[in-house]
Amino acid sequence: MSFEVLNKQRKLLPVICKPYPNEILSSWLTRLAFKHGLKTTTFCQMLFQNNVSIDVDRNATDIELKVLSERTELSIEEIRQMTLWSFQNQFIGPVQEKAIKDDWLLMGKRINFGSRKVMADSGILFCPGCFRKGQIHFKKEWRIGISFVCESCACYLLERCPHCHCGSWLFDDIPLKADQSLDEYLITCHNCGRNVSEHKLERPPEPVIIMQRELYRISKEQIWMPGISVLSYFKVLYELADVLFCNRQSMFGIGNFARCAMKAHPDYTDQVVQKIPAVKFVPVKWRWKYVIAAYQLLKGWPNGCQRILKRCYLDDDDCSRLLSNQPDWFTQPIVELLRPCPWDNAFQKTRISQPTDHITPITSNDEERILYDYEHNDNCFYDHLLNDATGTADVIEGIYRLYGFKPSVELDEVYQ
């Protein structure tokens, strides 16, 4: 098709297709471009007379929205509702610096693969079940990190091609095929060329489906609880999920808290995610386990979180990780319940991070310090308590709960 159809003198586009309910902007633009026989990037460059951000869902400008409105007869607000800014006051705060807070925003990521870059993560989820039913478009909520399940198909959403395990981005510069329909183009992996809907649907556990429906319901409300906005709720939900993920292996108080909260244990070896910096980058099939744990902590607030905190010893560092930058409604009900650690965690942290020949632990008398022979085993703290006769069964049990270490001898054999 000649590019003349997109010139500024012509007001309406020759072919206009209406957006589907909840369709994301990039999906609609891809369908519009295909109707004109163009790739999405080429279509947008000609329409807007400028280069367009690859993440148009997030970065579409007011000028671009105005042009789309004039050329399609949709209102600017209708088009804005297709962008990620439609989640303002839900997952995104007020527009101040004109930047989206991306805690819950799924981001695409490219990796070098030979002579080209391939999408490792697409930044947008999809449902193979919906595609099989002929509902071939991409929805707004599929770009948000609380999405795990398709409610209508009751199956897990996918983030990568099930065949080559690469992501596909709608704005990838992939040539159109002469005999290819629009639906075929949308469900074809841009890396391996196979149909992404050809995948066995995997049904998630019932609690995940319930959580998904509840999170969607909450996101449509203005207020979560009296005096607590939905935006504040999702901010805390993300921070809690991130605390659980980042401290899952810690042997100190915050790690104990994370283990107590995690009822659904991820079924992966830690090497798979050890270099992942935050929970939002964890693959969908594992990320929901951290989100559902955080969701359960906030369900029936604050009783569930208080029950777990009563069993944990947290030092100042642990408290700062849990409470840092959190709103008052979260911090106030739990700050008085936080039990201070009876021993200085600096001993354990130094023993683990900086092995040395002699370590000076803190004893029951703050001013009395003894040299302690360092040993490369997890029972050295118990051994010190037993050998020095300064510990009791209760103290040792407290250390066990705090650090997760088993004593080198059974307690009932020592204290009979």
Digit-coded pLDDT (tens) for 354-363: 333 333 343 4
Q: How many helices (H) and strands (E) does the chain have?
A: 18, 8
Rounded to an integer, what distance in angstroms lies between the CA atom of residue 371 and that of residue 64?
A: 70
254-279 per-position pLDDT tens digit: 888 888 898 887 777 766 677 778 88
pLDDT interval class at 233 (50, 70, 90):
very high
Residues 6+ apart with CB under 8 A from 395: 342, 385
Final residue before a domain boundary, out of 22, 52, 86: 86
Left if phi > 0, otherwise alpha if psi is -120 to 50, otherwise beta: which for 135? beta
Residue 360 and residue 285 share a domain = no
**What is the per-residue pLDDT for 406?**
47
CB atoms under 10 Å from CB of 221, counted, come to: 12
Final residue before a domain boundary, out of 335, 357, 382: 335
The CA-based angle 127-129-134, given to 5 degrees, is 100
The CA-based angle 224-227-232, given to 5 degrees, is 55
Rounded to an integer, what distance in angstroms lies between the CA atom of residue 264 and that of residue 286?
A: 10
pLDDT interval class at 160 (50, 70, 90):
confident
Residue 226 and residue 247 share a domain = yes
374-388 per-position pLDDT tens digit: 333 333 444 444 444
Rounded to an integer, what distance in angstroms lies between the CA atom of residue 82 and that of residue 103?
A: 19
Residue 244 and residue 219 share a domain = yes
Q: Helix or strand or coil: residue 121?
A: strand
Partners of 126 in the β-ladder: 158
Lowest mean pLDDT among 19-23, 175-179, 201-205: 175-179
367 pLDDT higher than 50: no
- Split into its structural domains, the chain has a count of 4
Within-domain flag for 92? no
Whole-structure pTM value: 0.76
Rounded to an integer, what distance in angstroms lies between the CA atom of residue 235 and that of residue 237?
A: 5
Residue 323 and residue 249 share a domain = yes
Rounded to an integer, what distance in angstroms lies between the CA atom of residue 385 and that of residue 392?
A: 8
Within-domain flag for 104? no
* H or E element that contains 380: helix 380-387
For residue 244, the enclosing domain spans 206-335
CA 24 to chain centre: 19
Residue 327 and residue 224 share a domain = yes
Residue indicated by tokens 């936080």: 338
Within-domain flag for 156? yes
Token code pair at residue 408: 């080198």
Within-domain flag for 199? no
Residue 355 and residue 327 share a domain = no
Cβ contact 166:109 at 8 Å: no
Cβ contact 120:167 at 8 Å: yes
Q: Which of 72, 165, 3 is nearest to 82 (CA)?
A: 72
Within-domain flag for 382? yes
Within-domain flag for 269? yes
Q: Which of 270, 305, 267 is nearest to 289 (CA)?
A: 267
Amino acid at 405: F
Residue 168 and residue 73 share a domain = no
Within-domain flag for 194? no
Residue 362 and residue 327 share a domain = no
Residue 239 and residue 324 share a domain = yes
For the chain, the first-to-last Cα distance in angstroms comes to: 90
Residue 293 and residue 212 share a domain = yes
167-179 per-position pLDDT tens digit: 766 666 677 777 8
Phi, psi torsion values for 13, nearest 5 degrees: -70, 150
pLDDT interval class at 409 (50, 70, 90):
very low
Within-domain flag for 193? no
* H or E element that contains 298: helix 284-298
Residue 259 and residue 318 share a domain = yes
Rounded to an integer, what distance in angstroms lies between the CA atom of residue 54 and that of residue 38?
A: 16
Residue 405 and residue 311 share a domain = no
Token code pair at residue 205: 């556990």
Q: Helix or strand or coil: residue 313?
A: strand
Kindly write down the DSSP assignment for every residue of 324-354, as one continuous string.
TT--HHHHHHHHTTPBPPSS-HHHHHHHHHS
